[in-house]
Homo-oligomer: A and B are copies of this chain.
């Protein structure tokens, strides 16, 4: 057996680089940028009017002028033309290019326009209501760093610099495998001694949130069949997530078969609860990683969240800071196991507070609906006080 900390370190130390791929901008939400993105023009690309009104040259005001002959109208999307006379004005629309020899925009609310003449009713400031060329970013400057997670804001920036395709980190090809003869399909009516598959669906859902569409398999408790199918799966996928079959039972063939297939065990069994029988290893020739989670729902779920998600973040070079939350109640830690306790999270006046979810052990699937994440309590500390901040592994978004 291995401590939780050692196990976690071994998993993230096995981070892998799956290379990059070029994808359409439309599919880039949630992916991780694999290129530095450069401004292909100044941002904004010209002196841009930010109000609807008139563009004037401030020098004429400085010399006492308050009424301006209007030369015409300058809409957005039209090539600019200079004022024919710097004592004139031109009506200008938001988004239009301010003429080179104008330098101030006065919004309609601050002028009176009559018979082709505009009279100021408020004193403008020189340069006002112009978003200056290059004031946000200069051409050639970085607008997005590599290794950035792409959200709606980044999509807008990518669009504005012309990235109709984006270079992103490739995601691993993942197989998810259920095991156990007691399992039937979701659509079937189980016999009294059977249950429906659930872990594989939980894993499918969780991976889909990472942009990964895993391939599903089921292995019956037959060593020959397991050997044959696992050999194929190890060869065709980069990461394998198994649920069940790693305990000490007579039909728990998975660890033996994995080792027969050359998957080198990094560890089996971790001093943690739930999820003690977790098996983790790597096939060194083909590079496939195997996360073999215990079959109890809370064990599979906790292990996925605690190990796999951190491994994925590290593999994608995303930041992976520890998140701390504040205990609403004191919690004792008995024994020598690291506890992954189900908690409910609330956010009050800028504080993240957690309280324990009443649960019925690692088989209690229904309690996971009330769970926002797991807190990680170290057995080196006998008691965690109310108000103490502890490490938190979220299983649900806060907003």
Q: How far is it, in angstroms, between the C-alpha of A57 and the C-alpha of B143 when the chains are bound?
A: 70
Q: How far is it, in angstroms, between the C-alpha of A74 and the C-alpha of B248 when the chains are bound?
A: 14
A206 at interface by CB-CB < 8 Å? yes
A324 at interface by CB-CB < 8 Å? yes
Cβ–Cβ contact B366 & A209, under 8 A: no
Answer whether A162 and B187 are a contact pair too, CB < 8 Å, given A26-B204, A131-B361, A251-B93: yes
Contacts of A41 in B (CB 8 A): 190
Contacts of A315 in B (CB 8 A): none
Residue of B nearest to A40 (CB): B189
In residues 125-181 of chain A, which contact B (Cβ within 8 Å)?
A: 131, 135-137, 143-144, 148, 150-164, 180-181
Cβ–Cβ contact A50 & B363, under 8 A: yes
Q: How far is it, in angstroms, between the C-alpha of A44 and the C-alpha of B366 when the chains are bound?
A: 10
The SS class assigned to the A binding surface is loop
Contacts of A347 in B (CB 8 A): 321, 323-324, 352
Chain B nearest CB from A187 CB (Å) reads: 4
Copies of this chain present in the complex amount to: 2
Among the 9-residue stretches A8-16, A255-263, A295-303, A329-337, the one with 4 or more Cβ atoms under 8 Å from chain B is A295-303
Contacts of A295 in B (CB 8 A): 94-95
Residue of B nearest to A300 (CB): B156
Q: How far is it, in angstroms, between the C-alpha of A41 and the C-alpha of B182 when the chains are bound?
A: 15
A364 at interface by CB-CB < 8 Å? yes
Question: Which of B45, B153, B188, B189 sits near A395, CB closer than 8 Å?
Answer: B153
Question: Which of B43, B44, B158, B209 sits near A29, CB closer than 8 Å?
Answer: B209
Answer whether A198 and B157 are a contact pair too, CB < 8 Å, given A50-B296, A366-B143: yes
Residue of B nearest to A245 (CB): B94
Cβ–Cβ contact A192 & B75, under 8 A: no
Q: How far is it, in angstroms, between the C-alpha of A80 and the C-alpha of B144 when the chains are bound?
A: 61
Chain B nearest CB from A249 CB (Å) reads: 4
Among the 9-residue stretches A233-241, A284-292, A367-375, A377-385, the one with 4 or more Cβ atoms under 8 Å from chain B is A367-375
Contacts of A164 in B (CB 8 A): 185-187
A61 at interface by CB-CB < 8 Å? no
Contacts of A368 in B (CB 8 A): 153, 156-157
Chain B nearest CB from A304 CB (Å) reads: 8
Contacts of A205 in B (CB 8 A): 28-29, 150-152, 155-156
Answer whether A152 and B95 are a contact pair too, CB < 8 Å, given A159-B186, A250-B52, A351-B350: no
- 14 A–B contacts, CB within 8 A, in A order: A52-B247, A52-B252, A77-B182, A93-B249, A93-B251, A95-B195, A97-B192, A151-B205, A157-B368, A157-B369, A160-B365, A325-B350, A326-B349, A350-B352
Give 6 A-B pairs besides A43-B364, A160-B196, A323-B399 with Cβ atoms closer than 8 angstroms: A77-B181, A136-B363, A151-B395, A156-B199, A159-B198, A352-B352
Closest 4 CB pairs of A and B: A77-B181, A77-B182, A156-B202, A326-B350
